[in-house]
Structure 1
Amino acid sequence: MKLAVSTLGLPGEGVAAAVETAVRGGCDGLELRLHPDTGVHAGLDAAGRAAVRDTIHGHGLAVAALAGYTKIAAPGPDEPVAAGLRADLELAADLGATGVRVFPGGDDLAAAARRVRAVADLCREHGVRVFVETHDSLPTGAAVAGLLDAVALPDVTGAIWDLLHPWRHGEPPATTLAALARHLAYVQIKDAVSAADTTPRPLGAGSVPLDACGELLRGFPGWVSLEWERTWYPHVEPVAEILPGARDWVSRYAISSA
C-alpha cells in the first residue's frame, strides 16, 4: 500500500502547503481535488501544469489521482460529460497522475459506457484511467461493479472503494470487496460518527469498520488515500493531526500475512 492524502482536507491551501503536509505526514503522494480553490483544475495552462507537477515531484511525491467531479452515468447528452472527462484526463497525463476519480451521478449504465468509450483511446495513449467511486447514486460495491461491467473496458477503468459509503448503505465490507475485486484500483479511508452522521472522526474513533476493511485489504498493492473532508466540515481537526493514524493503518495492513 502507498499512502496519499487528499487535498479535500486542506481547504484554502495551495499545492505547496499540501506538499508540505504530505511530506511531514510520511505520505507517498497526493490526491488532488480538482477545483479552482485548490489551484489544480483543467483550466491550467502548460506553465501552470508544469509548476504543479514540478512542485510535487520535486519533493519526492507522486500524484496518486485527480479527484474530479464528472458524473459519468448522469442523465443528459453525452458530449458535455465526455468533454469534461477528456479535459480532466489530459490534466492527469500532464501531472503524471494514475487517473481521474469520477462519480456515477445517476444509473444510466449505457450512457456511462458510451462516455468512457469516447475517452478510451486517450486513456490508453497516456496511461491514465477512469476511477469510479462508490458514491451518490451507486454507493455500494455491487452497484459500481455493475456499472464497470456494463462499460466493459477493464484496461481503462477501475473502482475506488470509499470505505464509508458502502458500509453506511448496509453492504458489509466483505461483500463490497467480493463485488469490486476484479475492478479495485484505489481505496479511500475515513472514519465517521455513524452511518447516519458522516461527520469525520479520527481513524478508529468513529464507527466505520476500519479493522475489518484492513484485514480484507491486507497486502493491497495500490494507493490508499486519506480523504479527510475538512472542506465540508471546517470545524474538524486539521488533517495533519489525522495523518499519523492513517500512516499506522497503512503500515498495519501493508504486508501480507502469507
Structure 2
Amino acid sequence: MKLAFSTLGMPGTPADEVARLAAATGYHGVELRAHPDEPVHVGLSPDERLEVTAAFKSAGVEILALAGYTRVGAPGPDDEVIEDLHEHLALAHDLGARYVRVFAGGGDAPAEDVDVIAARRLAAAAPRATDLGVRLLLETHDSHSRGVDVARVLGLVGHRAVGALWDVMHPWRSGEDPSATYAVLAPHLGYVQVKDIASADDTTPLPLGSGVLPLAECVELLSRAFYGDNPTPEPQEGWLSWEYEKAWYPEAPALADLLGPAREHLSRLIAESA
C-alpha cells in the first residue's frame, strides 16, 4: 500500500511547500484540500495549475486526490451541484489527481430522498469523470457516515467512475464494525482515510496509534484485499491517506512534526498485516 496525507492538517500551506514536505518525510502522495480558502481551488488559472503540477512532479510526489466539499445530496437545483462537480473534475484532471472527494450532505432529510438526489447528480457527472480519467468518491461522512449508507447511493449510480472513500472514523463512531464497512465498500473503494481520536465523543486529532480507532484492524482488512485471494478493483496500489484535522482544531500540534512517526506507524501496521 502507498501512503499519503491530507493538507487539512496544514491549512494555507503553499503547494510547493507541501510537496517538499511530503518528499522529505517519505510519503508517496498528498490529498489536497480544494477550497477557496486554500492555495488549491477551482478558481486557479491554467498557469497556476501548471505551477502546482510542476511542484509535485519535481518532488516526485503524486497528487492522489482533491478533497472537495460538494454536497451531492443537499437541497437545491441539480444544475449547480453538477457544475461544481464538473469544475472539480476538471481541476483534478489538470493536476493529475486520480480522485475527487464529495460528501452526501443530506442533513435531516429522509435518507431515501437523499440517496436518490445524490445518485442522480453523481450519475449525471459520471460521463465527464470518465472522459477526464478521474473518479468521484463519496466519503463516509455526515448524513451518510456508514459504509452501508454510501453503498446504497453507489448501487443506484451503478457507474465505475463513481466510488467510495472510507474515512475510518465516521462509520466507527456510527457503530459500524470495520469488517462490515469494508464488506459493503470493497467493490467501490478508491482509497482510505486514516486518523486517530481520543474517544467517540472527543474527535480532537491525535498522532496515529495514540487513540482509540481500530487502525490495525482496518489495515489488516485492506492488506488481505490488496494481496490476498479477493482483490478490490485496484489491488495493485491501495492508498492510505492520513487526514489530520488541524484546520478544525487549531490547538492541535503541528502536522509537520508528526508526519515521520505516522508514516512509520502505518508502515509497521502494513508489515504486520502482510
Q: Does residue 21 of structure 1 match 2:27? A: no
Amino acid at match of 2:188: H
Out of 207, 213, 221, the residue aligned to residue 218 of structure 2 is: 213
Q: Of 126, 131, 134, which aligns to 2:137? A: 131
For 1:194, which of 186, 190, 199 is the aligned residue?
Answer: 199
Write the mapping of 1:1-258 to structure 2, written as runs, cut at 5 A: 1-106=1-106, 107=111, 108-153=114-159, 155-218=160-223, 220=226, 221-254=237-270
Q: Deviations over 1:213-248 (max 9, x none)?
A: 121122543221110111111111111222223312
Which amino acid letter does the alignment assign opposite residue 79 of structure 1? D
Amino acid at match of 1:141: G
Letter in 2 for 1:242: L
Sequence identity percentage: 49
- List per-residue Cα deviations over 1:7-30 (Å, max 9, x = no partner): 111123111221122112211111
Shift of 1:101: 0.2
The 2-side partners of 1:105 and 1:37 are apart by 20
Q: Aligned pairs, how many?
A: 257
Taking the aligned partners of 1:68 and 1:158, their CA distance within structure 2 comes to: 15
Instruction: Provide the TM-score with structure 1 as the length reference.
Output: 0.95
Query: What letter matches 2:121 in structure 1?
Result: R
Q: Is the 8 A contact 1:218 1:253 kept in 2?
A: no
Partners of 1:5 and 1:227 within 8 A in 2: yes
Per-residue deviation, 1:176: 0.8
CA distance in 1, matches of 2:52, 2:85: 20
Following TM superposition, by how much is the alpha carbon of 1:253 offset from its aligned partner in structure 2, in angstroms? 4.4
Could you say what secondary structure the match of 1:204 adopts? coil
Cα shift readout 1:43-83 (whole Å, capped 9, x = no counterpart): 11110111111111111011100000001111221010000
Superposed CA offset, 1:111-138 (max 9, x none): 2222122222211111101011000000
Residues 139, 100 of structure 1: alpha-carbon distance in 2 compared, 3 angstrom cutoff:
same
Hey, what's the Cα distance between the residues in 1 that align with 2:173 and 2:238?
A: 24
Instruction: Give 1:39 deviation, angstroms.
Output: 1.0
Which range moves more in the overlay, 218-227 or 49-58?
Answer: 218-227
Code of the aligned partner of 2:142: D
Runs of 4+ in 1 over 6 A off after TM superposition: none
Describe the SS at the equivalent of 1:70. strand
Structure 1 contact 7–38 (Cα < 8 Å) conserved: no
Q: Distance in 1 between matches of 2:207 and 2:196?
A: 6
Q: Distance in 2 between matches of 1:75 and 1:12?
A: 30
SS in 2 for 1:38: coil
Secondary structure of 1:230's counterpart equals coil
Q: Give the gaps of 5 or more residues in structure 1.
A: none
Query: How far 1:184 sits from its partner (Å)?
Result: 1.2
1:73 counterpart SS class: coil
Note if contact 1:226-1:243 (Cα within 8 Å) is conserved in structure 2: no
Distance 2:169 2:257 in 1: 20
CA distance in 2, matches of 1:163, 1:120: 25
Counterpart-to-counterpart distance in 2, 1:29 and 1:81: 28
**SS where residue 36 of structure 1 aligns?**
coil
- TM-score of the superposed pair, with normalisation by structure 2: 0.89
CA RMSD of superposed structures (Å): 1.5
Structure 2 residue ranges without an equivalent (≥5): 227-236
